[in-house]
Structure 1
Amino acid sequence: MVNSLWFKWKSLRLPWRKSFLVGQDLAGNTFWEFKDQLNAGRYRRIVKFDPKTHYGDVQVTPQWHQWLRYVRPNAPTLEEQRQDLVRQAQMKELARLADERWASKPSFLEKPKTQQQAPGIAPGPTTSAANIPSEPTTTTADAPTSPASAPEPEPTSPPPKTQKEINPWAKADKKGPGDSWQPEAWTPSSQR
Structure 2
Amino acid sequence: MSSSPRAIRSFWYRWKSFKFPWRKRWLVGSDLTGNTYWEFKDALNQNRVRRIVKYNRHAHLGDVKLSPQWIQWLRHTRFEAPTITEQQHDEIRLHQIKLLAAEADKRWASKPSVLDAPEKQQPMLPLRPKDLAADAPQTEPEQKEGVISHVGSPDELKEHAEGKDIDHGRFKGKTKEKRKSPWKQQRGVPGDDWQPRAWTPGSSKRS
TM exceeds 0.5? Answer: yes
Within the alignment, does 1:114 sit opposite 2:123 as a pair? yes
Q: Tell me how far apart the structure 1 counterparts of residues 46 and 12 of structure 2 sit (CA, whole Å).
A: 26
Larger radius of gyration: 2
Residue matched to 2:87: 81
- Number of corresponding residues: 123
Question: What is the match of residue 149 of structure 2?
Answer: none
- Picking from 8, 13, 20, the partner of 1:14 is 20
Relative contact order (alpha carbons < 8 A, sep ≥ 6): 1 or 2 greater?
1
Q: In structure 2, what is the Cα distance between the partners aligned to 1:115 and 1:72?
A: 58
SS in structure 1 opposite 2:106? Answer: helix
What is the root-mean-square deviation of aligned Cα atoms in Å?
2.2
SS at 2:16's partner residue? helix
Post-superposition shift, 1:55?
2.3
SS in 2 for 1:38: helix
| Runs of 4+ with deviation above 6 angstroms | none
Which residue of 2 is the match for residue 105 of structure 1?
111
Matches within 5 A, 1:17-166: 17-110=23-116, 111=118, 112-114=121-123, 116-117=125-126, 119-120=128-129
Task: Tell me, in whole angstroms, the C-alpha distance in 2 between the residues paired with 1:10 and 1:83.
Answer: 26
Higher helix share: 2
Mapped to 2, the partners of 1:116 and 1:27 lie a distance apart of 58
Contact 2:55–2:64 (Cα < 8 Å) also in 1: yes
